[in-house]
Structure 1
């Protein structure tokens, strides 16, 4: 039976890489997008070009009221494409980046980050959990902004939400262990994605300064992270749970 993974926010960057890497390892993929439908189509096309099967569904992880309807779409996609009523892996990756000095962080900004980065993964996982097989796996994409090494001024709200996601991952690992479900988080460092309004493409002059702070001497690429996600969900990760793995090339080492 073909394994099936759900990857949120897979129209670009880390999510796109994770979806493709999982497909290359034989999994079918249900991927989500919010505003970037063309990117989602690109992800599906890349997977299909290599002989895989992928379905793109629209989802706003900041609107938990839409999750039951999304679950119904997942049920239909599983039935129509894989003749299944369950899936094997969940990657909570969707979100956005936003920075502001602590004194300038508004409640609106705080609530928006909380809805997408913490409440969203919490209740989306809860909504989809009845469809997740026993022995399945979950990876939550956090950030090294929640660690000492990755702390930078301006990310108090963003880092707080990602820190909460790391703690949530540990609790899920504990509570779901009876079903054999493994739950881990990963904390990427600076990675060349569209986060922060596509900042790295708009302001390439910042890249050398960031690379100089990375022990391995460069900015992270989406595949550096996507391959770790696929590995954690594969047989190689079968004895790993309740861990947060920093994937940063040694940022501020």
Structure 2
């Protein structure tokens, strides 16, 4: 059985990606920070459908914890799948923050940098020796890093996600010698827990966003989770170094 590691698998896009991959026969190690109940719900959903999953705690903003996390991954691979390697990595865990350029503090900037760019960089570096040759990686970026997704208030967030798009291409170049493909997905506006469950708190925002979207609605986690599963699958074996917008045609 192939095994995927998905960061931020307790809700939203990460949870959907975990379930989608499990439905394709892939074992899943998913991570959570704070939302243990959500992570256990993801595991229960996968197991109910006949799959196998393990939830591990991880703060992607604390790179000093990555060696210990790697040890936990090794133990989970050995105990659950009798393996010493894994096949897929999804760098999905993130943090949201909105502030106009002049109101963004160094603390805000540094926190986003640790979680959205430094975290995926050094977590991938830490786990790469455990990944099989011919594996695949997907990084979750954002439409806020694309021309069509520019909105006031996301200068720091979008810059980090833009950095992750560039990092995706460098990973694809350097890892190609091992046959490892690396792509990213750039979700548009998606109904997740980001921004303190913003869409639950401000449902009046939804009609305006839907009106700006070619397909007439906001995104759902499964819209992006399915795209991630597709990019990791055999059908995408000739795709690497790409950033795929998954937005339903936002601002098209």
Distance 2:106 2:196 in 1: 20
Distance 1:86 1:150 in 2: 37
Aligned residue pair count: 252
Distance 1:247 1:52 in 2: 26
Offset of 1:59 from its aligned partner? 0.2
Equivalent residue number for residue 156 of structure 1: 155
Equivalent residue number for residue 141 of structure 1: 140
Equivalent residue number for residue 82 of structure 2: 83
Note if 1:246 corresponds to 2:242: no
User: How big is each residue's C-alpha offset from its partner over 1:133-182, in whole Å with a ceiling of 9 and x where there is no partner?
Assistant: 00000000000000011110000000000000000000000000000000
Distance 2:43 2:251 in 1: 36
Equivalent residue number for residue 26 of structure 1: 25
Equivalent residue number for residue 167 of structure 1: 166
The correspondence of residues 104-119 of structure 1 with structure 2, limited to 5 A, is 104-119=103-118
User: How big is each residue's C-alpha offset from its partner over 1:200-238, in whole Å with a ceiling of 9 and x where there is no partner?
Assistant: 011000000111000000000000000000000001110
Distance 1:246 1:229 in 2: 11
Q: Helix, strand or coil for the counterpart of 1:139? A: strand
User: How big is each residue's C-alpha offset from its partner over 1:83-118, in whole Å with a ceiling of 9 and x where there is no partner?
Assistant: 000000000000111010000000000000000000
Equivalent residue number for residue 237 of structure 1: 236
Distance 1:26 1:237 in 2: 17
Q: Helix, strand or coil for the counterpart of 1:149? A: helix
Contiguous gaps of at least 5 residues in structure 1: none
Contiguous gaps of at least 5 residues in structure 2: none
Q: Helix, strand or coil for the counterpart of 2:137? A: strand
Equivalent residue number for residue 219 of structure 2: 220
RMSD: 0.3
Distance 1:96 1:112 in 2: 9
Equivalent residue number for residue 60 of structure 1: 59
Distance 1:195 1:87 in 2: 28
Equivalent residue number for residue 47 of structure 1: 46
Offset of 1:46 from its aligned partner? 0.2
Structure 1 length as normaliser, TM-score? 0.99
Distance 2:58 2:6 in 1: 11
Distance 1:151 1:197 in 2: 21
Distance 1:157 1:45 in 2: 36
**Structure 1 residue ranges (4+ consecutive) displaced by more than 4 angstroms after TM superposition:** none
Distance 1:200 1:137 in 2: 32
Q: Helix, strand or coil for the counterpart of 2:149? A: coil
